[in-house]
């Protein structure tokens, strides 16, 4: 397979050119290009440059605004709301972030609800700015109804990712970002693109039978991780980032899409916690205890979540990123 090596600057410039060429405003094109470049940089191909195909397709189908400016509202002492106006979530998050951090430092805990947004990005991108600020973070969002609940055979939940981050001072933060489905939908789509079967347990076909055929699963239903446990987490995300913030569930998002095949539309909930407000002068003592936990994990040979991502980042900053020639050509064709 022929590969193409791009520096991070080249990858970002390519993404920006594609987005601006298709009508995204400078503000949206900048944050989206940065996001997909960073996903590729961090070894997260399912949320990297490949996402440009779905981003442009969603725009061409009229399912995302290319230029709506977010409206950020100071809703309560510990609540920020950001109305994305039907655009991607990234600009709304960026503009609401300073107020979220300010409220978290004041109250010790604060929430950001992003409404009416189209969402495609990995959630670690929304968590890392919080850990960079010394805060603990949590984020979740529904998607389209692609995932069957445990015991069911028809799509109801989204892939419904959840992410958590813990600041570690000068060390890379502890961040996990995972779908509540057995795999991210993008991983199945990448298997389909590569002509490879998916692992058992990722999904079922339209008859409710287990399948390793990526197309059959995309036409049928994905499965949650851990059976009923993952199913309960998925339902939690539906509620927290749906009715709680006045936004759509995954089934409602899919109905809104009405067969267009656009990216998910709805809301995202982000929570932030300030250890210094919880702990006061004892904060450093208890944060050191957290490091003892991390050291104990690694001493057994366990990897901390996010380690591979930060290793990939360091490598990409020196060597750039590598994508297939086919993907590169497909992206260039969007210009």
Catalytic residue among 40, 128, 187, 238: 187
335 residues of the chain, pLDDT tens digit each:
899 999 999 999 999 999 999 999 999 999 999 999 999 999 999 999 999 999 999 999 999 999 999 999 999 999 999 999 999 999 999 999 999 999 999 999 999 999 999 999 999 999 999 999 999 999 999 999 999 999 999 999 999 999 999 999 999 999 999 999 999 888 999 899 899 999 999 999 999 999 999 999 999 999 999 999 999 999 999 999 999 999 999 999 999 999 999 999 999 999 999 999 999 999 999 999 999 999 999 999 999 999 999 999 999 999 999 999 999 999 999 99
**Dihedral of alpha carbons 287, 289, 292, 296, sign:** negative
Rounded-to-integer distance, Cα 52 and Cα 25, Å: 15
Rounded-to-integer distance, Cα 117 and Cα 285, Å: 40
pLDDT of residue 196: 96
Beta strands in 2-108 (DSSP E): 3-6, 71-76, 79-83
Catalytic residue among 7, 10, 46, 252: 46
Rounded-to-integer distance, Cα 174 and Cα 138, Å: 12
Q: Could you tell me the pTM of the whole model?
A: 0.95
Rounded-to-integer distance, Cα 227 and Cα 213, Å: 20
47 labelled catalytic: yes
Which residues 6+ apart lie within 8 Å of 98 measured at CB? none
Catalytic residue among 28, 47, 144, 191: 47
162, β-bridge pairs = 140, 178
46 labelled catalytic: yes
DSSP 179: -
Question: 203 φ, ψ to 5°?
Answer: -175, 175
Place of tokens 């998002």: 253
pLDDT of residue 1: 81
Place of tokens 């050291």: 295
Angle 168-172-175 from CA coordinates, rounded to 5°: 85
With beta carbons less than 8 A apart as the criterion, state whether 272 and 104 touch: yes
pLDDT of residue 186: 85
106 labelled catalytic: no
With beta carbons less than 8 A apart as the criterion, state whether 17 and 51 touch: no
Rounded-to-integer distance, Cα 12 and Cα 34, Å: 6
Kindly state the tokens that stand for 240: 């927290």
CA-based max dimension of the chain: 59
DSSP 241: T
Kindly state the tokens that stand for 307: 């380690």
Rounded-to-integer distance, Cα 307 and Cα 315, Å: 13
């Amino acid at each position: 397979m022929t590969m193409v090596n791009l520096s991070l600057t080249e990858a970002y410039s390519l993404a920006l050119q594609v987005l601006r060429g298709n009508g995204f405003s400078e503000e949206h094109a900048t944050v989206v290009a940065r996001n997909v470049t960073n996903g590729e940089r961090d070894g997260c191909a399912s949320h990297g440059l490949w996402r440009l195909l779905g981003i442009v397709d969603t725009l061409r189908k009229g399912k995302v605004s290319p230029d709506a400016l977010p409206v950020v509202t100071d809703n309560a002492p510990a609540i920020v709301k950001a109305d994305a106006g039907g655009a991607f979530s990234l600009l709304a998050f960026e503009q609401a972030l300073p107020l979220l951090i300010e409220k978290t430092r004041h109250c010790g805990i604060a929430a950001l609800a992003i409404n009416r947004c189209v969402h495609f990005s990995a959630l670690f991108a929304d968590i890392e700015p919080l850990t960079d600020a010394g805060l603990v973070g949590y984020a979740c969002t529904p998607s389209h109804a692609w995932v069957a609940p445990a015991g069911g055979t028809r799509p109801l939940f989204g892939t419904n990712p959840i992410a958590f981050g813990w600041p570690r001072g000068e060390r890379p933060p502890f961040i996990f970002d995972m779908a509540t489905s057995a795999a991210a939908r993008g991983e199945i789509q990448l298997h389909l693109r590569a002509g490879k079967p998916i692992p058992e347990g990722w999904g079922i076909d339209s008859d409710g039978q287990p399948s390793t055929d990526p197309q059959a699963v995309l036409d049928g239903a994905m499965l949650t991780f851990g059976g009923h446990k993952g199913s309960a987490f998925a339902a939690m995300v539906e509620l927290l980032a749906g009715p709680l913030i006045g936004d759509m569930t995954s089934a409602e998002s899919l109905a809104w899409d009405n067969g267009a095949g656009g990216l998910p539309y709805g809301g995202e909930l982000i929570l932030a916690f300030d250890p210094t407000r919880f702990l006061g002068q004892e904060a450093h003592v208890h944060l050191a205890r957290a490091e003892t936990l991390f050291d104990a994990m690694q001493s057994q040979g366990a990897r901390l979540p996010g380690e591979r991502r930060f290793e990939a980042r360091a490598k990409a900053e020196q060597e750039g990123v590598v994508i297939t020639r086919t993907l590169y050509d497909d992206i260039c064709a969007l210009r």
